[in-house]
Chain A
Amino acid sequence: MSVSAEHYFVLSAILFVIGAYGVIARRNLIVVLMSLELMLNSANLAFVAFSRVHNDMTGQVFMIMSITVAAAEVAVGLALVVAVYAHRDTLDVDVLKILKG
């Protein structure tokens, strides 16, 4: 029995859920960003799997765009982390709720 596309979609869903759990449950801002990367990565896996199913490389082009967005997001996010840590001296997301109305 060979690997079908469904295997990749299930793996993508598992990785997405693990990443979502990390974003919700962890309190360290850096680990929250890493979990966000996990979620983006699982979406990329689904893109490439769909690209293979349809034998159409558009999915891979989308995945390259998605990597660019992820890199930009990480750069800005980590700059915010550094600024927040210099300002508030903590990375606990439960403490950082000054935007809460």
Chain B
Amino acid sequence: METVVFYIFAALAVAGALLVITHKNPVSSALSLVLTLFSTAVLFVLLLAHFVAAIQILVYAGAIMVLFLFTVMFLNLRPEALRFDARNMAFKVSVFLVVLLFTGYFAWMGFNKAFPGGGALSPSPEGFGTVEGVGRVLFTDYLLPFELTSVLILAAIIGVVAIAKRRES
């Protein structure tokens, strides 16, 4: 059962990602990205990270996607601005990346024989990935980084307002 769900949503995630980079229209790309992000959220549930899955849907598929769609529709791009034009160099670089990533992955697997269980998933403790469990870690061990993210968001807000403000000159 778990295997079937994994393969279905992994395939959906890859299909959505491929549609993002092949669609001509940015609106279709954004909607395909929602498919990928939603499938990833399902995989998070399979990994018993329920709180993180909820965050993924709320923040990524909700807020960030609305921001993308708003910008695309706000700009009202002309058709000639939408041509899809892959470059030859890009193909070579991405083939290189594929080879590098998978070589690195199998090298890591070789080094990893001492890893307990060889990547097999052991039963997790009570409360793993729930709001209570994640919240306990977030507000004790990682309180300072958590507070610093609020500074980051404040900086982003001020930066966005400064960039988007119309200059009178």
Q: Which residues of A contact B (CB under 8 A)?
A: 1-11, 13-22, 24-28, 30-31, 33-35, 37-38, 41, 44-45, 48-49, 51-53, 55, 57-58, 60-61, 63-65, 67-76, 78-83, 85, 90-92
Q: Give the total of B residues in contact with A, Cβ under 8 Å.
A: 83
A60 contacts B52, C-beta separation under 8 Å = yes
In the complex, which residues of chain B have a beta carbon less than 8 angstroms from the beta carbon of A8?
43, 47
- Whole-angstrom distance between the Cβ of A80 and the nearest chain B Cβ: 6
- Report the Cα distance A85→B149, complex, angstroms: 29
In the complex, which residues of chain A have a beta carbon less than 8 angstroms from the beta carbon of B120?
2, 4-5
A65 contacts B145, C-beta separation under 8 Å = yes
- Report the Cα distance A67→B61, complex, angstroms: 11
- Given A21-B94, A79-B160, check contact A85 B68 (CB 8 Å): no
In the complex, which residues of chain B have a beta carbon less than 8 angstroms from the beta carbon of A7?
6, 10
Residue of A5, A58, A61, A91 most packed against chain B (CB within 10 A): A61
- Given A19-B17, A82-B71, A85-B75, check contact A67 B47 (CB 8 Å): no
The 6 sampled A-B contact pairs (Cβ below 8 Å) are A5-B121, A20-B97, A27-B83, A38-B36, A57-B129, A68-B152
**A45-B43, A64-B134, A72-B156 are known contacts; what are 9 more A-B pairs with Cβ within 8 Å?**
A9-B119, A14-B17, A18-B14, A30-B68, A34-B26, A48-B52, A60-B137, A73-B156, A79-B160
Residue of A13, A18, A60 most packed against chain B (CB within 10 A): A60
Residue of A1, A35, A49, A78 most packed against chain B (CB within 10 A): A78
- Report the Cα distance A31→B68, complex, angstroms: 10
- Report the Cα distance A35→B93, complex, angstroms: 15
